[in-house]
Amino acid sequence: MVEKVITLDNVSLIDFLGVENHNIKEVAAAFPMSKIISRGNEIRIKGTTPEISRISDILDSLMEHYQKYGKITHENIQSYISHSGQPTNGSGSIPPVPPDDDEVLVYGTRGVVVRAKTDNQKRLVEAAEKHDLVFAVGPAGTGKTYTAVAIAVRALKNKEVKKIIITRPAVEAGENLGFLPGDLKEKIDPYLRPIYDALDDMIPAEKLKFYTENRIIEIAPLAYMRGRTLNNAFILLDEAQNTTSMQMKMFLTRMGPTSKAIITGDRSQIDLPNKQKSGLVESVDILKNIKGIAFVELDGRDVVRHRLVREIITAYDKAGQ
């Protein structure tokens, strides 16, 4: 008998191991001649070398599956067990079980399944797949930011990029940031709450903490982007209607050769001082004929909040507000 110890890092143990370690017990039941013990974030395997190798491959594959889809089901476990011992994908793990729904962007936390829900949201997803730079413009509640975050998280999970950078301009929406304590980032963090909420839906808390502490996911004011070249990253600029012309040009020129970017904004919520032109409005006009840049317009039909929100947006549009 030999022993191998596998350490689980940056995962939600309850989600990966299952309630009362049910998932690990299910794997152990398939190998009655071996012993699998789970304690804390460690899994100890005792058995013969061939069986330990098979069990290790199964657990590695389940880890990859969990990192990509955010959950593990009975069917997933049985599928990986049945495929163990067959040719691998070259990394030693078993080829991943494909998701049931091709339209799923992210299998999130607490059973959340994130997918594009409207035609224009689907156009945004398709545009991001085919273009390195996408503008998504539309009113509040159309899911443009949430969908953009999901697209970026999917790219990170699929290892298409090495990091996600999410930023927005520090423009006050009729309020004064000056009296708030802390530096610029601390002052603006409350305004970034929708982005944090979206990430909470899509990434387990422990892994999200790891990502942010190691700057794999970075959330910062637009001013922090100056002077940087952002390589191998998925970059999101939110609330872009509140950028100035110079800020928008600065952001657009941060993209490295292996980066992708989505810019979201709402023309009806420009909070810039009077007579100052929105960088979003200007850039859409300047860049509209450049190949490789996509523009997606969302409208009231894409509102996925309370049914009254759609009617409220329509009423304000009719009133010219």
Please name the helix (run of DSSP H) or strand (run of DSSP E) that holds residue 45, with its range, or none. strand 42-47
221 backbone dihedrals φ, ψ, rounded to 5°: -65, 155
Surface-to-core class of residue 196, CB atoms within 10 Å of its CB (0-12 exposed, 13-18 middle, 19+ buried): middle
Indicate the SS3 state at residue 134: strand
Paired residues of 234 in beta bridges: 164, 260
What domains sit in the chain, N to C, each tagged with a CATH number? 2-83 (3.30.1370.10), 104-319 (3.40.50.300)
User: CA–CA separation, 117 vs 115, rounded Å?
Assistant: 6
Question: Hey, what amino acid is at 199?
Answer: L
Indicate the SS3 state at residue 133: strand
Q: What is the per-residue DSSP string for 240-296?
A: GGG--HHHHHHHHTTB-TT-EEEEEE-GGG--SPTTPPPHHHHHHHHHTT-TTEEEE
Give the pLDDT score at 113: 79
Given the structure tokens 């001082």, which residue do they identify? 273
Distances from the Cα of 295 to the Cα of 136, 160, 216, 240, 289, angstroms: 6, 22, 27, 14, 10
Q: Are the beta carbons of 204 and 70 closer than 8 angstroms?
A: yes
Give the pLDDT of the chain (321 residues) as one tens digit per residue.
788 888 887 677 777 888 888 888 999 999 988 999 888 888 999 988 888 888 888 888 888 887 766 678 888 888 888 877 654 444 444 445 444 456 788 877 766 778 888 899 999 999 999 999 999 999 888 889 999 999 999 999 888 999 999 998 876 544 445 555 566 566 666 777 888 888 998 888 888 888 988 999 998 888 888 888 889 999 999 999 999 999 999 999 999 888 999 999 998 888 888 778 899 999 999 999 999 999 999 987 887 666 676 677 778 777 775
